[in-house]
């Protein structure tokens, strides 16, 4: 089959690899229907994160079950399934604690594991990992479900970590797909005031469509003062959806004393956090890779009911054969997020 690999910095390729096959009785084999390119895929692509040449790529995907192992009980051939970006056994202490991303037997798609920017994927612990959709899934619905595999669940996680409450105020740092989904998640949670901070006018427009009540430019020297003033001293909840030091600094600057920063961007070079600044103002820092599987049932239900539609984050699409174009468009910020058809 064909699968996307990262051969070198900036060198993304679709190559022929061995067809995946069931290995363990708890495996499933899934034919990929739709995949996506994630902002975090760009870190190794740009050489800002280590990788091994030939690493498989893609951790956002949905597909159709093709084969199941002898111990799989909750899935059937033909099921359309949503895959969280991490697989997990569902039984260990971390899984029981609802932190499946810390499952000792689990892992993430890509690298030495199968990736989703491919024709098919072998899924370990298929019962615990995959969520089958009990509905006919047309293309429109498939596009709405795809963001739940990562960016929508990650944006939701930011609001959970930051402690967004009904009627409350949240500042969302970042206007990438995760930041935009955090805005959507904050609206879903009933936040009354949703302040989006980004760098791109087109994304600010989408943020408003998703529920942002205010939008600011991250580089405007007035932004911090305006937010602090208009919130009467800063926001109790700040969703940091970038993962860079500058974003964390901005988050701290707009956080209210006693408030909480929920940080979900994969930290890139954020190794110099000065604890004193958090200590002095009693600002909590809850950083975490989203336990997507924990949130999937509720998010899927909302998408099926028509209450949630994160699909506007896809502003471009390609077929798998043109995967290189998808990375280039994301890298040049010509697209917020690119959908990939297998």
Q: Is 272 in the site for a second copy (CB under 8 A)?
A: yes
Q: Which is nearer to a second copy, 76 or 280 (CB)?
A: 280
Q: Which residues contact 47 (CB under 8 A, 6 or more apart)?
A: 9, 10
Q: Which is nearer to a second copy, 78 or 272 (CB)?
A: 272
- Of residues 275, 305, 306, 307, which one binds a second copy by CB under 8 A? 275
* Total residues belonging to the chain: 342
Nearest 5°: phi and psi at 4? Answer: -85, 135
- Please count the CA atoms within 13 angstroms of the CA of 258 that sit on its side-chain side: 1
Binding mask 241-270 for a second copy (x = CB under 8 A): -------x-------xxx-x--x--xx--x
User: What is d(CA 129, CA 27) in angstroms, rounded to the nearest whole number?
Assistant: 10
- Of residues 288, 302, 324, 325, which one binds a second copy by CB under 8 A? 288
Binding mask 187-226 for a second copy (x = CB under 8 A): ----------------------------------------
3-state secondary structure of 279: helix
Q: Is 227 in the site for a second copy (CB under 8 A)?
A: no
Q: Identify which range of 61-69, 118-126, 200-208, 284-292 contacts a second copy by CB under 8 A.
A: 284-292
- CB–CB of 186/170 below 8 Å? yes
Q: Is 321 in the site for a second copy (CB under 8 A)?
A: no
- Please count the CA atoms within 13 angstroms of the CA of 5 that sit on its side-chain side: 14
- Of residues 286, 315, 322, 325, which one binds a second copy by CB under 8 A? 286
Q: Which is nearer to a second copy, 289 or 316 (CB)?
A: 289
The torsion region of residue 302 among left (phi > 0), alpha (psi -120 to 50) and beta comes to alpha
Q: Is 292 in the site for a second copy (CB under 8 A)?
A: no
Q: Is 284 in the site for a second copy (CB under 8 A)?
A: yes
Q: Which is nearer to a second copy, 290 or 338 (CB)?
A: 290
- CB–CB of 262/285 below 8 Å? no
User: What is d(CA 286, CA 220) in angstroms, rounded to the nearest whole number?
Assistant: 26
Size of the site for a second copy (CB under 8 A): 39
Q: Which is nearer to a second copy, 248 or 329 (CB)?
A: 248
- CB–CB of 66/273 below 8 Å? no
Q: Is 102 in the site for a second copy (CB under 8 A)?
A: yes
What tokens appear for 173 in the block?
């740092």
Q: Identify which range of 71-79, 202-210, 231-239, 300-308 contacts a second copy by CB under 8 A.
A: 231-239
Q: How far is the CB of 278 from a second copy (least distance, A)?
A: 5
Q: How far is the CB of 265 from a second copy (least distance, A)?
A: 9
Closest CA to 88 of 97, 75, 79: 97
Residues numbered 17 to 76 that lie near a second copy (CB under 8 A) are: none
Produce one character per residue of 158-188: b if its CB has 16 or more CB atoms within 10 Å, e if not: bbbbbbbbeebbbbbbbbbbbbbbbbbbbbb
Q: Is 291 in the site for a second copy (CB under 8 A)?
A: yes
Q: How far is the CB of 12 from a second copy (least distance, A)?
A: 24
User: What is d(CA 238, CA 248) in angstroms, rounded to the nearest whole number?
Assistant: 10
DSSP, res 167 = T
User: What is d(CA 133, CA 315) in angstroms, rounded to the nearest whole number?
Assistant: 25
Q: How far is the CB of 258 from a second copy (least distance, A)?
A: 4
Residues at the site binding a second copy, with contacts judged by CB under 8 A:
93-94, 97-99, 101-102, 161, 232-233, 236, 248, 256-258, 260, 263, 266-267, 270-276, 278-289, 291
């Amino acid at each position: 089959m064909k699968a996307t690999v990262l051969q070198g910095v900036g060198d993304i390729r679709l190559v022929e690899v061995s067809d995946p096959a069931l290995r363990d009785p708890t495996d499933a084999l899934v034919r990929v229907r739709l995949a996506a390119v994630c902002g975090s895929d760009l870190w190794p692509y740009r050489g800002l994160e280590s990788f091994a040449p030939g690493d498989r790529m893609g951790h956002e995907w949905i597909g159709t079950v093709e084969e199941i192992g002898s111990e799989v009980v909750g899935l059937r051939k033909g099921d359309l399934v949503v895959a969280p970006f991490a697989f997990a056994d569902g039984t260990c202490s971390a899984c029981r604690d609802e932190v499946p991303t810390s499952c000792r037997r689990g892992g993430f798609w890509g690298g030495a594991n199968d990736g989703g920017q491919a024709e098919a994927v072998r899924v370990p612990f298929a019962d615990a990992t995959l969520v089958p959709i009990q509905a006919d899934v047309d293309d429109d619905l498939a596009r709405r479900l795809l963001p739940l595999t990562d960016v929508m669940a990650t944006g939701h996680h930011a609001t959970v970590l930051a402690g967004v409450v009904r009627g409350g105020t949240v500042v969302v740092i970042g206007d990438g797909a995760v930041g935009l989904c955090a805005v959507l998640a904050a609206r879903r949670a009933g936040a009354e005031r949703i302040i989006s901070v980004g760098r791109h006018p087109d994304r600010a427009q989408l943020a408003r469509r998703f529920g942002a009540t205010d939008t600011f430019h991250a580089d405007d020297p007035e932004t911090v003062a305006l937010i602090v003033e208009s919130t009467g001293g800063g926001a109790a909840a700040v969703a940091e959806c970038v993962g860079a030091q500058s974003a964390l600094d901005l988050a701290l600057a707009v956080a209210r004393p006693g408030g909480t920063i929920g940080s979900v961007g994969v930290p890139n070079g954020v190794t110099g956090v000065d604890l004193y600044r958090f200590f002095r103002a009693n600002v909590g820092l809850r950083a975490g890779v989203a336990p997507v599987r924990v949130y999937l049932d509720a998010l899927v239900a909302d998408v099926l009911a028509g209450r949630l539609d994160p699909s506007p984050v896809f502003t471009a699409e390609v077929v798998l054969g043109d995967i290189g174009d998808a990375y280039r468009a994301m890298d040049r910020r010509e697209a917020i997020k690119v959908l990939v058809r297998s």
